[in-house]
Amino acid sequence: MRDDIASIYLDNNATTALDPEVLEAMMPFLTACYGNPASRSHAFGWAAADAVKVARQSIANAINADRPTDIVFTSGATESVNLALSGLDALRGASKRHVITSMIEHKAVLDTCARLTDRGVPVTCLRPGQDGVVTPESVRHAIRDDTRLVSIMAANNETGALQPTEEIGAICRDHGVVFHTDATQALGKTALDVKRMGIGMAAFSAHKIHGPKGVGALYVDSTNPRAALSPLIVGGGHERGLRSGTLNVPGIVGFARAVELAVKRRHAESARVGRLRGTLRDYLVANVPDIAINGHPTACLPGTLNISFAGVDAASLLLELPDIALSSGSACTSALHSPSHVLLAMGASASRIQSSVRIGIGRFNNEEEIGYVGRRLAEAVALLRAMAPAVPDAPSVRHGT
């Protein structure tokens, strides 16, 4: 490992290490089984097509989708979101129907909604509570006669806050509105049942659950005529005509294996990762004064901890910890050097946002690492505060207030 590569990885919301079992499943399709699944005249193509069919069924089973063909493979969740929102027939042409989303969505949703606005589609952006949760009541009150789509994420990528997906889905069902959810962070970490939750479309990405990068999927309920889509990418009619292009067979096989492992291990892994999160949180609360936990204290992803250290610049804090991979926000937002729009929407002050760090604990982290990270964070915060003392943003705030 090079000196400039972190030795402890705690940025699992951004991406995850490829599980060895996933790589093992992919290897035959990276070597001997290299056929194109659209080649229907020989064994190489048949083997590839069979592998894709099995993978599609496996992912459909994991989310309780009735039809495996409702799984449309894409390059990742960002493309899936774009297809769901920009491709929805009810929002295209002269109809200009209404859309509801939230201020804490991933930029893939927010930027696509901005394009819809440019096309003349009215978009209502709901503000969450201080705990980072969008209430079902706010969705209900925002629905209009011309509302055709609600897009609320299942779990937030910065705070880990779980959204009331099932309740929102029920509201959408009652009003005849398509419910789309960005389930990228939720898949394999929380229970996800598209039928019970009233989900019409859902976006996924493999690399958030120890699968390969560059592959994802969009679930589309083909029994719901209101969820009819037009393709954004044409040229061959692949994926029921919704996403043309040669299928990434190794990626799809790896994606399916990652989903299988995540679902199989979900309860045990969530409990273990949740304990690690609790250990780190409790240590920091006990040993570092003037900190605040951002997001819901209990309704959250087991491995996500977003914490503000009053009087400390997060970028400086990360520089003091070169051997630990942490984040000062989502990977996409960090790439733009922008302050967290999620914390801003939750009502956090500029200084609190600037002092916030996201910790993403995952499958391959252990107690020894968590203990070390807690001590290093406490030492680094004390050092930075001693170098540049500042008035705390808020007195010993703990959870989402």
Q: Give catalytic residues, as residue numbers.
A: 332
Give dist(CA 240, CA 250) in Å, integer: 20
Helix/strand/coil for 125: strand
**What residues pair up with 125 in beta bridges, in sequence order?**
101
d(CA 11, CA 352): 20
Question: What are the Cα distances from residue 339, in Å, to 92, 114, 137, 396?
Answer: 32, 19, 28, 22
Cα(270)–Cα(227) distance, integer angstroms? 32
For the CA atoms of the chain, what is the radius of gyration? 22
Residues whose CB is less than 8 angstroms from the CB of residue 96 and which lie 6 or more positions away in sequence, other chains included: 119, 120, 121, 122
214-to-63, 105, 143, 363 alpha-carbon distances in Å: 21, 21, 35, 20
CB-based contact 216:177 (threshold 8 Å): no
Contact indicator for 16, 188 with CB cutoff of 8 Å: no
